[in-house]
Structure 1
Amino acid sequence: MFIVTAESSIRPRGAYRFTLFPDVAIEVCSQWRRVALASPRLWTHLHIREHLDDDDIALWLSRAGNDALLDIEIDILEPYCGVAYFGITNWAKQVYHIAGIFKFLCSLRAGPQRWRSLSLSVLQPEPLYTLIQLLNEQPAPSLRYLYLCSEPDGSDHRFDEDMPLTKAHYGKAYSLSEHAVPNLRRAGFIYVSWRYVFDRPKPLFSGLTSLDLSSGSWIPPLILPDIQQLLSANPNLESLQLSVGSAASDYESDHLPDDRRPNPVHLSSLKNLSLEGGENITLLWDILSIINAPLLEKLTLSNHGLDVDDELAAGITNYIITGNCLGATAPQPRQPGRCFRIFGNPTLRAYHLMIRG
């Protein structure tokens, strides 16, 4: 009963605070309490959302036992900063607390060697890179899921959405090593700079089955080859979500001409594809054109202010419905050499389609 309650009550990754962990496990009669305390699996999900309480965490982890794999979720957000008595823009303090949490968990034999999943949500990116540096120093061999989110509040003047990466973040110590998470299969990097994700000699991830990337306020001008390279390193992807938000507003003037476009990537296991192109539908078009997913079942396309009369929008819709590329349907296509290959052939499988304007 408690296991079912726990699994259904844990909030979605990335959802903002206030969804409590299933404390029902300790608010029952004494008989059921004994059952809960004797079930280590109930205590393997640790959610730190307010200032670190050493005694509570130690007690919680003692109930999980010494060997069970752990799901760690850390939120250094406004509630945490308030309880810990430091400002939400005090990045040095946030970095200090991340390092302190890491060290404390290791002291309880609950360090990276026992992590099955790790989620960290912060207000600015510095703590993310600190955590990556710590993982490089102490690998997590059993980690299957890594979620990192840095989302400043644009409505608050105290935040700086365009805060650049420092030179240190390009150093080797801050680049996620393949030895740090050798068995990683699912990754979510939300509002993590795409300069950090893509500006490197080889792909940041490989061997994934699920990938969720959301850019910050800027994307590289020639991003398509980088996306193709990353997808090529992850041919077994089953779920792919890419979002660029407002960062793609200038993409149209920078995208590659047809004769320099990378070859499509064959993703034979991909079943769920979600693309959010911000204010520029050209990027949706370009990403679709480098993906071959013959077994795709769910396709979600989103674009801010989509104009149904736009030629590119019409071409995308027509291809999805008929399997014909734009060049076969438009009298004078703006880019006649471009054709989607996403489904592999005009005969589509049953799938779920959502197009949001």
Structure 2
Amino acid sequence: MGPTKPSRDAQLKKDLTKNLTSALEGSLKENLKLSPDAALRKVTKEMLANNPFVPPIGCPVNDLPPELLAYIFLVGTQMEAEYEYADDDDEDDEDMEQYQLSDEWTDEEGGNHRDTAALGSLANGGDMEVDGDGNEEDEDEEMELPFQVLVSHVCKHWRVVALESPVLWTKLNFGEGAPFEKSKTWIQRSKGLPLDISIDCTIPEENEHDAHDLDDVLHATGDASSPPTRTATISAEEYGRQYTEMHKDCTHPHPHLPLSLLDLVAILDIIVPHIEQWRSLTLTASLYDYMHTLLSRLAQCPAAPLLEVLELYHYEDCEDYEVFRPAELREPFLIFNGYAPNLRDVALWGVHLDWDRSLSFLKDLRDLELTYHAKDVRPSYATFTQMITFSPNLSTLSLCLSGPQGNDAETNDWGTEPISIPSLQELVLCYHEAPYAIALVQKLSVPNVRSLALDFDGEDYTEFVKQLTLPMAGTTKSILSGLEHMKISGLPCDRASIDMMYEQLVGLQTININCSGEEEEELFRRLMYPAAAGKKIYCPNLHTITTTGIDGAEMRGFVEARKAAGVPIKRLMMSEEDEIEDKDEKWLRAHVEEFDFFEPSDSEEELVDLTEDDESDNDMDM
């Protein structure tokens, strides 16, 4: 047996003895005559100089070049932005009101006493508030600040670096409320760099009290049995007043009240003078009045030379998509004077433009999303075709209850020529009536599509599925033959059409199925069954599956069947709302490489709940 390594204590004693002897001998040679205590202090200091467990003297990070420190700040800001989806900036804007971001520092150390105390609490994870006298007060919720603001309040040096890094101040959301001083300050600090602007004008759909939902507050028809009407909709200001009145005795925190139309006008007054800096513009609204206000203002703007992303989302519920309502706001606009040469990604939800005149900038797109358009405000087939053909690099096309105006069988206004999109990689089709969906896929020639998402309900889509199995216009292959990824949120059809579809999905690698109805459950089950002819299991290259509405026992049977057939599932995602016993979860984790749960969207939960409540109404002859 070889010699054992000395213990840390023994090694430390040995090193101290050696270094102390060397120091004493050296002092004698140099006639310094160090005392043993002085020599010990000297040796200890030297030995601890590079010890990682001993804090360094000063702040080494401040020795970094300002450019590198600024880059670290940028990375921190980007990392924080990745998690904004979960928080929706719930706390940031409230906390911003406590800080005058344009104030200069007031003491020699580079810190305002009020800010320093608050940051001290943040660093220690404490819950406190600092009043005007600098005294600490307990607070229920921990304060949070945007990363770039936080680092700008650490010390004078960091503040200078942060304020001189315009890239940190280019994302605006106006969530702090009027008069929007924070956003004005950030625009100044951006120093002309491209701006990413996001404006949320939505009205909360629900609050802490189920008894006071949005319909109770926004609609006052006087008849609880009748559906709410657009004419009964009140303003956002009135919603805020009524909400405050109803919840004046509540202890729960009030949500941020929606922006008013006057707020939106004020925001536009702030950002329009800087339109040459816009890189992205996103606006979400519950009422079309807000969109009309935005569009009418954009119609007065000269151009948006740097704009790359335009996302306008109108979320107002509507059950009739034959004619646009309200009629008085139907006017189509030409925005940016028809000039936005760098526009690449466009999403228009329930928002229409002057389509013909807008062709000057609705071109060279890479991502186009048209959703929830009433039939009378959709682009003509000719205009839609030009929009597509003028975008040779189009990668993603999403048509959900929207697209070109409907085909007239008598006049054949869609013609016979296919719409060829060889660049397309992802296609999304949702909520169309079956005849329209069939006519649409008959016209599309998308030989390189790798991802297809479908969401249909309300009627039988068997013929649509059969159309998917036929060769695309001008080709010898169906759209299914080249697919690698597929998502099915709803697809009522018979077993024969499912088999026809699965037989062609030989290259499919991932699938996401929302089993909201018996038909979708059959889609899941058929993935376990062999094809009738070749006796081979469907989708032999499938390695990843995501499901909603499937319990643990069913999924265990599925994984077992695929493994027995020699085509095992490697990755599995299941809805956290589905019933999965511990034993099934343990078994699944042991038999797939990756297993995890996900939180389903509200629409997925509603579909599953509807199926459980009205199962008898969803039967179909298979």
Fold-level similarity (TM above 0.5): yes
Amino acid at match of 2:74: I
Cα separation, 2, equivalents of 1:279 and 1:131: 28
- Structure 1 residue 87: Cα displacement: 2.9
Is 2:473 the partner of 1:341?
Answer: yes
Q: TM-score, normalised by structure 1?
A: 0.70
Secondary structure in 1 aligned to 2:283?
strand
Instruction: Decide whether aligned partners of structure 1 residues 30 and 94 sit closer, same or farther in structure 2, where only a CA change above 3 A counts.
Output: closer
Secondary structure in 2 aligned to 1:48?
coil
* 1:105 alignment partner, one of 252, 256, 271: 271
Is 2:500 the partner of 1:355?
Answer: no
Cα separation, 2, equivalents of 1:13 and 1:242: 27
Structure 2 residue aligned with 1:175: 334
Secondary structure in 1 aligned to 2:441?
helix
Is 2:206 the partner of 1:74?
Answer: no
Pairwise mapping of residues 28-107 of structure 1 onto structure 2 (< 5 A)?
Answer: 28=151, 30=154, 33-34=158-159, 35-49=161-175, 51-64=177-190, 66-78=191-203, 86-87=237-238, 94-106=260-272
Instruction: Decide whether aligned partners of structure 1 residues 17 and 60 sit closer, same or farther in structure 2, where only a CA change above 3 A counts.
Output: same
Structure 1 residue aligned with 2:428: 274
Instruction: Decide whether aligned partners of structure 1 residues 283 and 36 sit closer, same or farther in structure 2, where only a CA change above 3 A counts.
Output: farther
- Structure 1 residue 113: Cα displacement: 0.9
Once superposed, what is the RMSD of the aligned Cα atoms?
Answer: 4.1
Cα separation, 1, equivalents of 2:84 and 2:446: 26
Cα separation, 1, equivalents of 2:82 and 2:435: 34
Secondary structure in 2 aligned to 1:27?
helix
Cα separation, 1, equivalents of 2:375 and 2:83: 26
| Contact 1:270/1:295 (8 A) holds in 2 | yes
Structure 2 residue aligned with 1:24: 147
Is 2:269 the partner of 1:143?
Answer: no
Instruction: Decide whether aligned partners of structure 1 residues 7 and 341 sit closer, same or farther in structure 2, where only a CA change above 3 A counts.
Output: farther
Structure 1 unpaired stretches of 5+? 156-160, 326-339
In the TM superposition, what whole-angstrom CA distance separates every residue of 1:42-72 from its partner, at most 9, and x where no partner exists? 21010123523332222222322x2211111
Which structure's residues are more often helix, by fraction? 2
Greater relative CO (CA pairs within 8 A, separation 6+): 1
| Contact 2:434/2:460 (8 A) holds in 1 | no
Amino acid at match of 1:70: L
In the TM superposition, what whole-angstrom CA distance separates every residue of 1:11-31 from its partner, at most 9, and x where no partner exists? 799999556777133335715
- Structure 1 residue 36: Cα displacement: 3.7
* 1:7 alignment partner, one of 62, 78, 103: 78
Instruction: Decide whether aligned partners of structure 1 residues 133 and 258 sit closer, same or farther in structure 2, where only a CA change above 3 A counts.
Output: closer
Instruction: Decide whether aligned partners of structure 1 residues 78 and 311 sit closer, same or farther in structure 2, where only a CA change above 3 A counts.
Output: closer
- Structure 1 residue 296: Cα displacement: 1.5
Instruction: Decide whether aligned partners of structure 1 residues 16 and 232 sit closer, same or farther in structure 2, where only a CA change above 3 A counts.
Output: farther
* 1:187 alignment partner, one of 300, 322, 346: 346
Instruction: Decide whether aligned partners of structure 1 residues 136 and 192 sit closer, same or farther in structure 2, where only a CA change above 3 A counts.
Output: closer
| Contact 1:209/1:234 (8 A) holds in 2 | yes
Cα separation, 2, equivalents of 1:89 and 1:129: 21
Cα separation, 1, equivalents of 2:331 and 2:317: 22
Instruction: Decide whether aligned partners of structure 1 residues 6 and 190 sit closer, same or farther in structure 2, where only a CA change above 3 A counts.
Output: farther
Pairwise mapping of residues 310-325 of structure 1 onto structure 2 (< 5 A)?
Answer: 310-316=462-468, 319=469, 324-325=470-471
Amino acid at match of 1:150: H
Cα separation, 1, equivalents of 2:349 and 2:81: 19
Cα separation, 2, equivalents of 1:197 and 1:265: 22
Structure 1 residue aligned with 2:399: 242
| Contact 1:11/1:19 (8 A) holds in 2 | no
Is 2:294 the partner of 1:128?
Answer: no
Secondary structure in 2 aligned to 1:169?
coil
Amino acid at match of 2:309: Y
Instruction: Decide whether aligned partners of structure 1 residues 49 and 165 sit closer, same or farther in structure 2, where only a CA change above 3 A counts.
Output: farther
Is 2:274 the partner of 1:117?
Answer: no
